Structure 1
Amino acid sequence: MGSEIRRSQLISPFGPGSIYVDKHGVPTVICGLDYWFKHYADDTVKDNTKLQEICSINEPRLQSLLRIPELREPPTYTTNSQVDELTKVMVQGHRFPRWYVNSLDRRLARFNLETRKISAKGIWKPVRFMAVCSHGHLADFPWKSWVGCECTGESGLKLNDGGGGDLSSIRVHCENCNKSETLRGALRAGSEETFSGLAGRGIACGGERPWLGEGGRDYVCEAQLTGVLVNQSNVYFPNTISSIYLPPTESEKDVSEIIEVLVSSDWAVTKAKVYLDMGDDDVFYDKLRKLLSDNGLECSNETILRAYNALSDGNKTPNDRSVCASDSELLAFRRAEYNTIRNEVPEDLSSELRVVTTEVDESLSGYISRVNLVERLRETRVFCGFDRLERQPIDLGAMPGKALNQLFRHPPNELHKQWLPAVKNYGEGIYIELNEDSIQQWLDQNSDALKSRYDEAFVLRMSSEEILLPPRNNCDWRWGAKYQLVHTLSHILINQVVFDCGYSSASLKERLFISNDEDNPMSGFLVYTASGDSEGSLGGLVNLARREMFFDTLSKALNKAVWCSADPVCSENFSSKGSRLVNKAACHACALLPETACETINNGLDRAAVVGLPEDPSLGYFGSFLSK
């Protein structure tokens, strides 16, 4: 099917398994990775070394985190590429839902996934309904089962729309057995206590996966099948993880070169492993040393073992970055970026990350300890599966197997053939770090009020949200208050930056670095923009971080946040707010951002932590600054 989707959209929101509706109103399910890199003329998979090299992305930290050997960019479709391997290479999609209704006589007809053109008398339009389950399966709406029709074949069904405002005005009718039923209750979701509308009639999920083609059925599924609309927002939640490129350390460079050789020679590594399992370490090292020597690498047994252990875990590179015992795996991943971006990164060290430190205005030094200009950065975003009906935290322990089983009809067994789709974006940003001593002083001075505002139940909800990157322990009110402070300040600043730099709020993103670890705390955030253009962005954001401009920008942001047009309702502390009940004083008039800009989908926000309350300005971290 000839639809145009930007390459970055194939990571989110239109990754494999999603429904894309083209300009003609035809819904299409984006196919799994078996169907990517196909040639338009003959439907043959372009699986060659040249194509893989062109589309391969080197992001060692992400590959290590997900234990995946390779990341690949989606191909760009072109009819006349300078590189023959990329000419007419596409990402395939199938028509879905398969049921269409004739606008003249309201007959229902079912087509195959691969049907490219539908030609018949009258105008055939796709139905608006389908079915999903919480395990990620996707199916056509079970019209016959809903009606209770037991006729053979699929002819005789009609879908009549009475033009009413609810589903009771839409009726399915079988002309053969004369059974009919309205769609009332068909879209009712189930829970642990109640059945969904479909499950209540005994209609079970068949484990269908149409993005993997005809016959891509999964195991028999025990989750409840739920009727949904094609364009319903909870049909598809892409799971993505992003990283900021960091220049590798010297030891990482050495080991990465070794792993590249081992990945491409997995059969030789498998044979060498036999000797290691038998306890003959000398033969194991000799065989691998000869393999590496043939590729121009000379290294010690210790380096070989480090590379082999990293590869055995599915990692393409080891992680030499410092971590803390209290950090979760994702928080440790974020800490590596924190340790790099908070310091200067000169241009001669890396062409893909450049950080320049600048002085903080004296009047702000008691509140903010660092403001860095991130003149250039590279963000890599990888797609690692999806959820339906409700977003679930990404299970890193199940990677990459869970993602490969969901995205491939035939998941590759060989390590060097395993890959996930990703996209690179270049941009710029501002890194801001709050004064840690001042934060601790603020927490001590307002301990009673903050402990009451962020009570045990509230902090427990915060710590249960994996998207907030909570630590393994120490999730007390001090961590909760600190998180609310740093995160809300990021939002308040972004809301002001859009007026000063020319970017829209949807073009900006945040990256939070928050930890309450006693020895290695983090209290910073990165506001950045990134696009698919290799030249990055225009420089307006970085310019705002310069000393002479940052003071004015931050001052205006804080003063605007003091009063919300929804006050006093917004700042009242009667109950928790937000989709996860982890917000306090935050609404669309003051602190919320477009969901693409906030990494927690607008969770974990409280304006009072930054500027205080109308009746108690001193409660805010910047309360004394605003009173001057």
Structure 2
Amino acid sequence: MSFKKKDASKATRADGQLRQSQLVTTFGPGAMVDLVDRAVVIGGLEHWGYGREGYVALDDPRLRRSLIPRLRALDPDLDLAKEGYFRMPPEGDARDPYPNVGIRALEFPRWFVCLHCHRLARATEQFENKKGRYQHQCAKNKWSSAAPVRFVAACKRGHLSDFPWIPFAHMDREGGECDRQELYLEENAVGDVARILVRCRNCEAWTSMNKASVLPYKCNGDRPWLGGRAANEACDQKMELLVRTASHAYFAQVVSALRLPEPTPDPLRVRLRDKEVWKAVHKVKTAEQLATVMELMDHVQSAVGKAPLDQVIAAIRAENEASSDTSERPLRSAEYERMIKAPIEPPGVVPEAGVQFAAYRVPKHRIDLPPGVRGLVVVPELREVRVQVSFSRFDSIGANLQGEYDFEGRKVKPAVLTSPTGNEKWLPAAEVRGEGVFVELDEDVLGKWEKRAAVQKRAELLLRAFEADGRGAFPGIRFFLLHSLSHLLLTAVSLECGYAASAIRERIYCGQAEASGPNMGAVMLTTGTTGSEGTLGGLVEEGRRIRYHLREAWDLGRLCSNDPVCAAHDPSAESSDRHTEGAACHGCLYIAECSCEWFNRFLDRALVVPTIGNDPELAFFRERP
């Protein structure tokens, strides 16, 4: 796709290009992007244009039902339309750009600095736009290029504004701001922020940028990606310094769900749903009552047919429960249940062309399962919908174990992608078509492992460290095991399946989300790309060799290149900078962040395999599989 600056109507070509999938993750609405000679912020959904051909809908009713209450927790006015509520980003054509097709990007920041004399000012006040690039006349008849300043101001609610250069430069001046400001940004080659000065040549006031770490200014609620000051909102946060290109400048909250086909409806329940039939039987609770109704009403008799009366009563009860249940099942619980109930794989089966989901349980006589692993499900066809809900700055917001975001209980909520009171009742989405391998651990073995004294002691240690970190809810020791196993298995499989490790993505199924739901304990590896690389078939075939890959994973986890330092890492120590990891580092467990759902947090290989200096009782796979 292509995007355009705010004055796109005057442009003949798009000013930059991004992949469509990047608009749902790294460069969504509110993200800052560098162009060749200026910087922009990606516009909100109001600034996305689809042209005559319209949008590509990626609607998924199950995911929509899950997201609506979460959106309203962000803002009561947020909602999703009945149709077209998930849309792919617009596809632009760089060879034939059209002003109304693509994404408008608004110029930001609005302050520039001269590359020659270091004059600092708003672009419209001291610089001239010459052929699309800002120039500054430093001396008589001498023009120099100007670049957007790299420092901006933001807050934890995602608001974004120009850095308050004028009051900041005069922070230590007794009389405050002078009458005629003339600011310069003085930098040097050392790169130390304490050596960067903001100086006013008019009054000789100056302030070092190291004082910008704590700003005394209140955030004014700017949302430039929505356009104009009318989009601002009240904010109770303090401004904070932000470098435009910093890694913590943008965190997208993305929710994903597998496209699960609706189960085949029961023919009896379909007949009972007839308006006249249901009106007659919806209050029936016993076989005697049903027999009486059938005797009096021929259309009820016809709908029931030869079905046993107790089966009809069960169908009526199921219909009543379905109509009274207004809550949507958690995303991962529904997926897990579909996986564990997958049909046995017939020999030589090939999914039908165009099918969105196909999963088969591999019979145990065809595979060699090690102790602790209950079963293997291969998924030759799957489609995953990924939807961006919001974004944050400075801190990432973790999803719960269901992959969903609990915005309702948060004091500081992330930023929205569109004006809540506007007409854009949809969210940007991308669809991944690929394959997967689902590895289910034995629940009995998992339960016994969790009760080991060494494991419980380790859980207490990780909990103390997590509380020191102070973010979110502790996921539990089982999650640490599953997440670490997922990383080791992903690395082992990627060496032989034909996919790059960054093209494989994990999906963790852990814990009990519902009182009557399954107690989940499984990991699934899927191809994690929106391109054609997601359907090569190598992941499914290598998944059938699960014992071999578990052995490779076991060998990978036994020894790290940073041992014994890595294995002996104490996350609860005051000197530790990794409070959410046990024995884990770049040498053993960390993988590409596009493959990990949890930003390489909550990892400990000592819970999977025996490691140097740790009690072997910690390891779920104490012996080589």
Measured against the shorter chain, the TM-score band is: 0.7 to 0.9
What does 1:427-506 align with in structure 2 at a 5 Å threshold? 427-444=434-451, 447-455=452-460, 458=463, 461=466, 470=475, 480-506=476-502
The alpha carbon displacement at 1:217 in A equals 4.7
Say if 2:57 and 2:88, in contact at 8 Å, map to a contact too: yes
Residues 1:404 and 1:144: Cα distance change in structure 2 (over 3 Å): closer
CA distance in 2, matches of 1:465, 1:434: 30
Query: Which segment drifts farther, 155-164 or 591-600?
Result: 155-164
Deviations 1:510-532 (A, max 9, x none): 00011158972111111111322
**What CA distance in whole angstroms lies between the structure 1 residues aligned with 2:374 and 2:427?**
39
Structure 2 residue aligned with 1:72: 87
Q: Deviations over 1:87-114 (max 9, x none)?
A: 961111122111111122222231369x
Q: CA deviation at 1:560?
A: 2.3
CA–CA distance in structure 1, aligned partners of residues 167 and 617 of structure 2? 63
SS in structure 2 of the partner of residue 450 of structure 1: helix
* Equivalent in the alignment of 1:622: 621
Is 1:355 aligned to 2:356, yes or no? no
Q: What fraction of aligned residue pairs are identical, expressed as a percent?
A: 30
What CA RMSD, in Å, does the superposition of the two structures yield over aligned residues?
3.8
Q: CA deviation at 1:369?
A: 1.3
Which residue of 2 is the match for residue 109 of structure 1?
121
CA shift, 1:574, in A, is 3.8
Asked if 2 retains the 8 angstrom alpha-carbon contact of 1:15 and 1:30, the reply is yes
Count of aligned residue pairs for this structure pair: 516
Alpha-carbon offset, residue 365 of structure 1: 4.4
The equivalent of 1:381 in structure 2 is 386
Query: 2:56 aligned with 1:58, yes or no?
Result: no
Residue 566 (str. 1) matches residue 576 (str. 2): no
Note if contact 2:433-2:534 (Cα within 8 Å) is conserved in structure 1: yes
- Counterpart of 2:177, as a letter, is E
Shift of 1:245: 0.9
| Residue equivalent to 1:173 | 199
Question: Alignment partner of 2:225: what SS?
Answer: helix
Amino acid corresponding to residue 455 of structure 2 in structure 1:
L
User: Residue 144 of structure 1 aligns with which residue?
Assistant: 166
Q: How does 1:220-259 map to 2 (within 5 A)?
A: 220-249=234-263
* Aligned CA distance change for structure 1 residues 63 and 459 (closer, same or farther; 3 Å): farther
Counterparts in 2 of 1:6 and 1:251: CA distance versus 1, 3 Å: same
Return the letter of the residue paired with 1:76: E
CA separation of 1:531 and 1:597: change in aligned 2, threshold 3 A = closer
List alignment gaps of at least 5 residues for structure 1.
39-45, 189-195, 256-299, 311-317, 322-331, 471-479
Correspondence for 1:277: none
Which protein has the bigger helix share? 1
Paired residue for 1:420?
A: 427
Relative distance call for 1:98 and 1:564 in structure 2 (3 A) is same
Change (3 A) 1:430 1:531: same
Distance in 2 (alpha carbons) for counterparts of 1:467 and 1:248: 33
Matched residues in 1 for 2:486 and 2:420: separation?
Answer: 43
Q: How is 1:49-448 mapped onto 2 (pairs within 5 angstroms)?
A: 51=54, 54-67=55-68, 68-69=80-81, 70-78=85-93, 89-111=101-123, 117-120=132-135, 121-148=143-170, 150-151=177-178, 156-186=182-212, 188=213, 196=214, 198-199=215-216, 203-249=217-263, 319=328, 332-344=330-342, 347=351, 351-360=355-364, 364-393=369-398, 395-396=405-406, 398=408, 406-409=416-419, 411-412=421-422, 418-444=425-451, 447-448=452-453
Q: In the TM superposition, what is the alpha-carbon distance from 1:544 to its structure 2 partner?
A: 0.3
Change beyond 3 A, Cα 1:89–1:453? same
Contact residue 247 and residue 353 of structure 1 kept, 8 A: yes
What residue identity is the alignment partner of 1:150?
Answer: E
Distance 1:152 1:306 in 2: 70
SS in 1 for 2:491: helix
The one-letter amino acid of 1:14's match is: F
Residue of structure 2 aligned with 1:583, choices 577, 581, 584: 581
Q: Does the CA contact (< 8 Å) of 2:134 and 2:147 recur in 1?
A: no
- Equivalent-residue separation in structure 2 for 1:60 and 1:450 (angstroms): 41
CA deviation digits over 1:552-609, x for unaligned, max 9? Answer: 2221221221122222222226444886623211121111212221111122221121
Distance in 2, matches of 1:579 and 1:468, equals: 19
1:20 aligns with 2:12: no
- Structure 2: 5+ residue runs without aligned partners? 6-14, 69-79, 136-142, 171-175, 270-315, 344-349, 400-404
SS at structure 2 position matched to 1:57: coil
Whole-Å separation in 1 of the counterparts to 2:207 and 2:464: 48
C-alpha spacing 1:566/1:527, structure 2 compared with 1 (3 Å): same
Structure-1 separation of matches of 2:266 and 2:30 = 36
- Please tell me the residue identity of whatever aligns with 1:105: C
Within 1, Cα distance between the matches of 2:351 and 2:152?
Answer: 52
Partner deviation per Cα, 1:164-185 (whole Å, 9 max, x = no partner) = 3312322222233332223232
Q: 1:388 to 1:619 in 2, by over 3 A?
A: closer
Quick check: 348-357 or 429-438, which moved more? 348-357
Change beyond 3 A, Cα 1:451–1:152: same
Mean Cα deviation higher: 98-107 or 175-184? 175-184
1:437 to 1:135, Cα distance in 2 relative to 1, 3 A: same
Pair 1:515 & 2:515 matched: no
Amino acid in the other structure paired with 2:209? L
2:465–2:572: 8 Å Cα contact kept in structure 1?
no
Which digits, 9 at most, give the CA deviation of each residue in 1:42-94, with x for residues without a partner?
A: xxxx5x8x62xx4221111211111133111110102689xx9x996111112
CA distance in 1, matches of 2:375, 2:397: 35
8 Å CA contact 2:44–2:417 kept in 1: the answer is yes
Amino acid at match of 2:166: K
Structure 2 residue identity aligned to 1:624: E
User: Rg bigger for which structure?
Assistant: 2
User: CA 1:506–1:103 in structure 2 vs 1: closer, same or farther (change >3 Å)?
Assistant: same
Asked if the contact 1:372/1:430 (under 8 Å) is kept, the reply is yes
Report the AA paired with residue 60 of structure 2: E
In the alignment, structure 1 residue 29 sits paired with structure 2 residue 25? no
Q: Aligned partners of 2:588, 2:414: CA distance in 1, in Å? A: 41
1:104-125 per-residue CA deviation (whole Å, 9 max, x = no partner) reads 2222231369x89234331111
Q: Is the 8 A contact 1:434 1:524 kept in 2?
A: yes
- One-letter amino acid of the structure 1 residue matched with residue 65 of structure 2: S
Output the CA distance in 1 between the equivalents of 2:24 and 2:353: 30
Does the 8 Å contact 2:466/2:474 carry over to 1? no
